[in-house]
Structure 1
Amino acid sequence: MLPDIVEYLVCPHCGQPLALTDGGGPLHCPDRHTFDVARQGYANLLPGGAHTGTGDTAAMVAAREAFLGAGHYAPIAAALARAVPDAAETVVDLGAGTGYYLAAVLDARPRAQGLALDISKFALRRAARAHPRTGAVVCDAWRPLPLRDAAASVVLNVFAPRNGPEIRRVLRPGGTLLVVSPTSRHLAELVGALGLLAVDARKQQRLAAALGPHLGFQGDSETTFPMELDHAAVRTVVDMGPSAWHTDAAELDRRIARLPDPVPATASVTLSRFTRPAPA
């Protein structure tokens, strides 16, 4: 954990500020609630270990690291980094996964520091090492986030859950939320052939309904590009996403074997920008 990241954290039990114990020990608050910092560098701030979501498994995280590390989604990371304001100071990635997108943003904004939030400890083992200016915290996006009010100048949300009231609370006035979500064309060549989960055609409407009451919509843009995926990459892109929970491994392998190698596939996402209005 970075000392300059800890100052933005609060205790999930009492809401008081957290501090690192001298000598690099656990985090603690004035009411003596303590939270261990794992040897991999992340802190677990789930109150009582409870959560309401489903975290990525070790296998899903390994697949994600392999696929993203191969650069298949590099144009998405580049578009996200370009959208982050130059003056960004504290960038919070809600649902950070392995920290791939946060690291790309921090590389592009050398004055910014980052905080990776995710419910999967397997993901945060990697996110904690993704960039030297990153701290990593296990938490549940559907519960109160263990961050002080107005802690973030930018919140990133890439293929992840969105808690509108909490995002508004942790964004400073004038701060920016950047949401990356798939369009109906995303991986469309694989959806039917492999029996994967399809993207809801009303996804953008649901996004606006969820965030509109809390943040001001500032516009969106689309990033679409072709990919050539060998069979191993096809398997990893399935294994790293929500379809991993809903596919039979043996049947998936049979279907992939019937595809051409490499497989032409489309990556297509919408980058939506929201702000927390500044006081008049």
Structure 2
Amino acid sequence: MPSRVVAWLRCPVCQDPLAEVVTGGSRALRCPRRHSFDIARQGYVNLLTGRAPHSGDTAEMVSARADFLSAGHYDVISAALADAADTALAADTALAADPTAPGAHPLVVDAGAGTGRHLAAVLAAVPAAVGLALDISKPALRRAARAHPRVTAALADTWQRLPLADASTALLLNVFAPRNGAEFRRVLAPGGRLLVVTPAADHLTELVAALGLLRVDPAKADRVAASLAGHFTEESTTVHRQELTLSRPEVATLVGMGPSAWHTDPAGLAARVETLGEPVRVTVAVRLGTYRLQGASPGDPP
């Protein structure tokens, strides 16, 4: 597990630093008070304490997402994040010439990372950075741990205290995931940025009525603002759209990887998908908001 990421991790029990230990062929992260957290053979570490209120996306949902993303259908989102990250971390990447300098390897944290594809795209765009994928879903983390050589994956509930040091994170990603404003503020470094991706009003609009999917909440932007109020100031916002041309099986995969999968009868959905004419044209529309810490000025260094 990359030491440059482990150095920023903290014990979820006592908040002491963690270090990797190997005992009898088993690997774990352990703090000075001997709280120990196993590193699974699939490469992720379990930093969850107590019982999680939910288990996150199922193996079937994660498999559907991996198939859909690997086909490049959401690359418009990855590209937008990569461009925004490159801009936000420009000051940090300049330090890469001195690998011992503070900030030479800025930490990018994806809170609710899923399979890690978006985080991997950001790391590809910012070669000096290292990444941490946080998610509550074990099937997702098994994939995230292999998403990029500079990704570390950890099981954590983002509604709880994040297993990170204060002011440790240069860039925080939040893509279609819950937002914990207070914790995001605690872990973000001064001058760091939070990138939030949420669905725009017309996201997947062609499928909503035809398949009985969940509609985008008209108050979505207000709810995002409320979740970050008192902690962050929005610096900029951009909307990114792309029309997809999908087959019926790809439509079924798209629905199966999202929130509608929890609320849709599989047999009824399959029947409705079969009534669609091919190819199926679907709009991807997302809002990307860039936020800085409240009270910080735009030019503050990371």
- Normalising by structure 1, report the TM-score: 0.97
Of 200, 205, 208, the match for 1:188: 205
Q: 2:137 & 2:8 partners in 1: Cα distance?
A: 21
Q: Secondary structure at the match of 2:221?
A: helix
Deviation for aligned residue 1:174: 1.0
Deviation for aligned residue 1:147: 0.5
Where structure 1 has 5 or more consecutive residues not aligned to the other structure, the ranges are none
1:30-82 CA-partner distances (Å, limit 9, x unpaired)? 1111100001110000003x223450000000000000000001111101100
Q: 2:55 & 2:194 partners in 1: Cα distance?
A: 23
Deviation for aligned residue 1:278: 3.8
* Residue correspondence of structure 1 range 82-93 to structure 2 within 5 A: 82-84=83-85, 85=88, 86-88=90-92, 89-93=106-110
Q: 2:53 & 2:80 partners in 1: Cα distance?
A: 31
Letter of the aligned partner of 2:38 in structure 1? D
Q: Secondary structure at the match of 1:13?
A: coil
Q: Does 1:11 align with 2:11?
A: yes
Q: Does 1:67 align with 2:64?
A: no
Letter of the aligned partner of 2:134 in structure 1? L
Q: Is contact 1:115–1:137 with CA below 8 Å preserved after alignment?
A: yes
Letter of the aligned partner of 2:34 in structure 1? R
Q: Does 1:139 align with 2:143?
A: no
Paired residue total: 279
Letter of the aligned partner of 1:87 in structure 2? A
Q: 1:6 & 1:52 partners in 2: Cα distance?
A: 26
Q: Does 1:37 align with 2:39?
A: yes
Q: Secondary structure at the match of 2:192?
A: strand
Q: Secondary structure at the match of 1:47?
A: coil
Partner of 2:257: 240
Q: Is contact 1:53–1:142 with CA below 8 Å preserved after alignment?
A: no
* Residue correspondence of structure 1 range 223-234 to structure 2 within 5 A: 223-234=240-251
Partner of 2:175: 158
- Normalising by structure 2, report the TM-score: 0.90
Letter of the aligned partner of 2:119 in structure 1? L
Letter of the aligned partner of 1:32 in structure 2? R
Deviation for aligned residue 1:209: 1.3
Q: Aligned-residue CA RMSD in angstroms?
A: 1.3
Q: 2:4 & 2:21 partners in 1: Cα distance?
A: 14
Letter of the aligned partner of 1:77 in structure 2? S
Q: Secondary structure at the match of 1:21?
A: strand
Q: Is contact 1:53–1:140 with CA below 8 Å preserved after alignment?
A: no
Partner of 2:96: none
Q: Secondary structure at the match of 2:182?
A: helix
1:238-265 CA-partner distances (Å, limit 9, x unpaired)? 0101111111111101100000111011
* Percentage of matched positions with identical amino acids: 54
Q: Secondary structure at the match of 1:191?
A: helix
Q: Does 1:51 align with 2:52?
A: yes
Q: 1:9 & 1:102 partners in 2: Cα distance?
A: 18
Of 195, 198, 201, the match for 2:215: 198
| Cα distance change of structure 1 residues 213 and 52 upon mapping to structure 2, 3 Å threshold | farther
Q: Is contact 1:72–1:227 with CA below 8 Å preserved after alignment?
A: yes
Q: Is contact 1:159–1:182 with CA below 8 Å preserved after alignment?
A: yes
Deviation for aligned residue 1:22: 4.1
